[in-house]
Chain A
């Protein structure tokens, strides 16, 4: 009986120690401003400037516009999917389409500048990229 009590106590201690999340204590001493800034960029970190580009471009296009996304990678798993999957969240009132659907697009947002696209002209440019309109 005594062995059972000791083993039970040890098991509970192991579950407590193994399940403990020190972050929930450390967070009280964390600099919330720097963490907020870092976390805001974190989901887009592999394409620096992508988040700002999409937010800025979204502010310069009308609600309901169809927007194609261009980045210098065409493979879905090689970089294009990374950018495309994140774009609708940052442009929720736009109809975001992949570059293959450019014929449907009224706008094209390009990370770090656009290639030549017949029928489109540049309407805005920044350090992060460019916006073109049909």
Chain B
């Protein structure tokens, strides 16, 4: 909690653009809420008091005028984006989340934690509850538990509010990277990609934290602050851990290995959960015995995995045609000044495929029920990349140099 507040204060000093400041403040706030539940008693007066303190700490982020001194970026195109956001907000809160992962993992853990006013280790440790993926990080369940504690009842259909908030935060951060009407148009196109259709699952928060962390590092701005967002991404889903590794390798590829040690908050934030959960005997299903046999089997016979990927492709083909076309048009910048971002995305995709190579489950089943969700985690980032490499440089927000 102290680290998050200090980081929030550092963000004030960094003089971020107004839209980015709002987006980052929200995402930091969610992380601070989770930290509050880990260190404070789960009682409503304590929690509300903590919120007031948190708002006091973050208020400068919202109140201080952004550094250019003008108005926040806006365009008539933003109205269309706002209509879509309103539609998403209605969609996400019309009914309790129907995603099975919400019912079996994220929402379920939040409910169990609410009952015992803490982490329900007894529930997590039961072998027959393995379907709840006891080893998964707990930031998202804690966020739902926090909402419920403040509301005084289970969040129900308002669980979707977390997805809405994270989507808005991510879009505001992206909006701060691009100027003028092209920035507004990019926001409109990216809107459905940052607002996860998997309402109640951890994808929405993970996408937002990934965007906040990776885009900050793309311009080499405040490495420590960006690393905090990567740490929070790793506190949403295990894919956030592979993202940290992808970022570190991408820094090597981009020729800035000296920045890697400054990424320490990305490790420090998820580390306590990794240690404590292992001490409680919680293990990932991917680490089940017979790892080498599975790797050999899947590498020597990749057909089932590839067939499943072809059978259940993520998104529409027209979208991918447009994306690949844009990347080819700007290929010099993809492998040049944007090689850090391009490397992060490519390495993260490789990590997704590696998970299928070591999976103990039927690989066709695993791909069918996760491939689209996994790809969505990086779709907004790769679309952003496709956009920036096709835009004139004067349409990009000024800032620290790229790689």
- Tell me the bound Cα distance from A121 to B333 in angstroms: 73
Is A20 a contact of B185 with CB atoms below 8 Å?
no
How near does chain A come to B154, taking the closest CB pair, in angstroms?
Answer: 8
Q: Which residues of A contact B83 (CB under 8 A)?
A: 25
- Tell me the bound Cα distance from A8 to B65 in angstroms: 35
Is A89 a contact of B104 with CB atoms below 8 Å?
yes
- B316 on the interface (CB 8 Å rule)? yes
How near does chain A come to B95, taking the closest CB pair, in angstroms?
Answer: 3
9-residue interface stretch from B51-59, B107-115, B224-232, B254-262: B107-115
How near does chain B come to A74, taking the closest CB pair, in angstroms?
Answer: 14
How many residues in B have their beta carbons less than 8 Å from beta carbons of A?
53
Q: Which residues of A contact B323 (CB under 8 A)?
A: 11, 14-15
- B308 on the interface (CB 8 Å rule)? no
Q: With CB as the reference atom, state the residue of chain B lying closest to A37.
A: B95
Chain A 83-125 per-residue mask, 1 if CB under 8 angstroms from chain B, else 0: 0111011001101011001000000000000000000000000
Residue from A15, A21, A95 in contact with B197 in the complex, judged by beta carbons closer than 8 Å: A21
Is B319 a contact of A85 with CB atoms below 8 Å?
no
Q: Which residues of A contact B303 (CB under 8 A)?
A: none
- A78 on the interface (CB 8 Å rule)? no
Q: With CB as the reference atom, state the residue of chain A lying closest to B324.
A: A11
Residue from B87, B185, B386 in contact with A28 in the complex, judged by beta carbons closer than 8 Å: B87
Is B185 a contact of A24 with CB atoms below 8 Å?
no
Is B94 a contact of A32 with CB atoms below 8 Å?
yes
Q: Which residues of A contact B185 (CB under 8 A)?
A: 12
Chain A 12-52 per-residue mask, 1 if CB under 8 angstroms from chain B, else 0: 11111111110111111010100110111011000000000
Is A18 a contact of B329 with CB atoms below 8 Å?
no
Q: With CB as the reference atom, state the residue of chain B lying closest to A24.
A: B87
- A10 on the interface (CB 8 Å rule)? yes
Q: Known: A88-B112, A89-B108. Contact between A23 and B91, CB under 8 A? A: yes
- B98 on the interface (CB 8 Å rule)? yes
- A2 on the interface (CB 8 Å rule)? no
Q: Which residues of A contact B136 (CB under 8 A)?
A: none
Task: Return the 7 tightest CB-CB contacts between A and B, nearest first.
Answer: A18-B319, A14-B322, A24-B87, A39-B95, A92-B111, A18-B318, A11-B326
